[in-house]
Amino acid sequence: MQEYDAIVIGTGSGMIVVDRLLRENPDARVAVIDRDMAGGICLTRGCIPSKLIISPVEVIYDLENLSEFIDAEVKGVNFEKIMKRMRNKVESESRMIEKSLKEFDRIDYFRSSAEFTAPYVLEVDGKHIRSERIFISSGSRPLVPRIDGLEDSGYLTSDSLLHLEDMPESLVIVGGGYIAIEYGNFFARAGCDVTIIEMLPRILSSEEPEISRLVHQELSEHADILTSHRVVRIEKKGGKKVVHAMGDNGGRSVTGEEVLVAVGREPNSDILRPEKGGIETDERGWIKVNRYLETNVRGVYAVGDANGKHMFRHVANREAVIAYMNAFHDAKIEMDYSAIPHAVFCQPEVASVGLRENEAVEKYGRENILIGFEEIKSTGKGQGLNAKGFAKIIINRETERIVGAHVVGKAASVLIQEVTTVMALNAPFHSILHAIHIHPSLSEVISWACGNLMSVDDYHRKIEKEL
């Protein structure tokens, strides 16, 4: 049986482990396994292709906001070119990664499925391989719910959508989370007739309610959004798909050329058979890890989507570094999830880090929380762009630390970074006030929010009146 210094399953964040190990240890031999295109989900099916597809419509939104001042007419998007650019980029980057995996003599690259057969032993390509350091970065895949008629009618997922050649005339999206909203926003603004059906009372339900509300308002100018409706049946009729949904006050049926199912992700652990390696999973199949990202089997780590914690590429990257340090340097570093930012790339853009208001209130008590608030239109640049949105900063009154921040509006994913840095450094909120912000840039919204603090109750009174 071939023995390796490390076995890495998945070529996304797992490549960080491979890179570090080979750089630091000139004699190390590594087995790298991926059943799909090299580069992992982020490059081949997730972050990169989705942002290459959806980003162009941001310009349409900006033009709409400035229609009073710019007399422009958008005739449509060139879907074929957008998809071609996306495929070219993904394929060429994946080929580059594959080439380096194949050419590096200390890597054995298996483009194949792996499964555990015993602790520390995997079967791949009919061979058994073994290592006492195994990194599971096996990712996740679209969750397809059991809906009557769904399989027979046919549907798209965030994976198969990438093979579309033509833009559908109409699209029904099942789900209202970030993948559903990013694609829904794109197709709706690109001219497709979009209906979004979410079973919860609001879209983007893991964001602050006032943020969901603004995105809903803005997006509903171009798409139909049905909340509190559960899709119960789908049928094919005259080449189209009819989606039947039930709400508290009765049913609605919506017809679309295509249906996109975007209701969440599920683990790939059924393929890997971790139980045969003695590795514990939770009831949904996510691999259980401790604070050091180690599974219950010593030397076996699970990072990224595989552990089901925060399913973002930047989190997977950090986890991979920590798992590597703990595995090869016995560093005993704990993964800290307190300042994990994320963004939803729709219009208006959404970004958030740390706790939501209800979580902060529950953790620290209502009287110990201060909220800083400012609208983007207060800044000169925001006014110039007619930009909607706001920044909400949640502060622990006693420690003066920011415990969460939420931004909606132009460049939210950029604006949140300043707060993330302050949180990561465990610096007080007033360090943001101490830093000079460029006037009259959008970044002032963060600084001004930190200078405009109020109690939780005053915040709610304010937004009720003003938003």
Ligand X SMILES: Cc1cc2nc3c(=O)[nH]c(=O)nc-3n(C[C@H](O)[C@H](O)[C@H](O)COP(=O)(O)OP(=O)(O)OC[C@H]3O[C@@H](n4cnc5c(N)ncnc54)[C@H](O)[C@@H]3O)c2cc1C
Contact residues for ligand X, defined by CB under 6 A: 9-14, 33-36, 40-42, 45-47, 50, 113-114, 137-139, 158, 179, 268, 271-272, 304-306, 311-314, 316
Closest approach, Cβ 328 to ligand X, in A, equals 18
For residues 119 and 247, which CB has a smaller minimum distance to ligand X in the complex? Answer: 119
Prior bond of 201 cis (ω within 30°): no
Rg of the chain, C-alpha, whole Å: 24
Closest approach, Cβ 429 to ligand X, in A, equals 26
Q: What is the DSSP string of 78-101?
A: -HHHHHHHHHHHHHHHHHHHHHHH
- 12 and 304 in contact (C-beta within 8 Å)? yes
Q: Which residues pair with 314 in a beta bridge?
A: none
Closest approach, Cβ 40 to ligand X, in A, equals 2
Closest approach, Cβ 363 to ligand X, in A, equals 25
Closest approach, Cβ 32 to ligand X, in A, equals 10
For residues 138 and 347, which CB has a smaller minimum distance to ligand X in the complex? Answer: 138
Q: Taking the C-alpha atoms of 312, 301, 137 and 147 in order, what is their torsion angle to the nearest 10 degrees?
A: -80
Close Cβ partners of 298 (under 8 Å, ≥ 6 residues apart): none
Q: From CA 239, how far away is CA 233, in angstroms rounded?
A: 16
For residues 11 and 379, which CB has a smaller minimum distance to ligand X in the complex? Answer: 11
Closest approach, Cβ 138 to ligand X, in A, equals 4
For residues 344 and 432, which CB has a smaller minimum distance to ligand X in the complex? Answer: 344
For residues 66 and 143, which CB has a smaller minimum distance to ligand X in the complex? Answer: 143
- 180 and 173 in contact (C-beta within 8 Å)? yes
Closest approach, Cβ 460 to ligand X, in A, equals 31
CB atoms under 10 Å from CB of 368, counted, come to: 16
Q: From CA 143, how far away is CA 263, in angstroms rounded?
A: 6
For residues 192 and 306, which CB has a smaller minimum distance to ligand X in the complex? Answer: 306
Helical residues (DSSP H) of 342-407, grouped into ranges: 357-364, 380-384
For residues 233 and 276, which CB has a smaller minimum distance to ligand X in the complex? Answer: 276
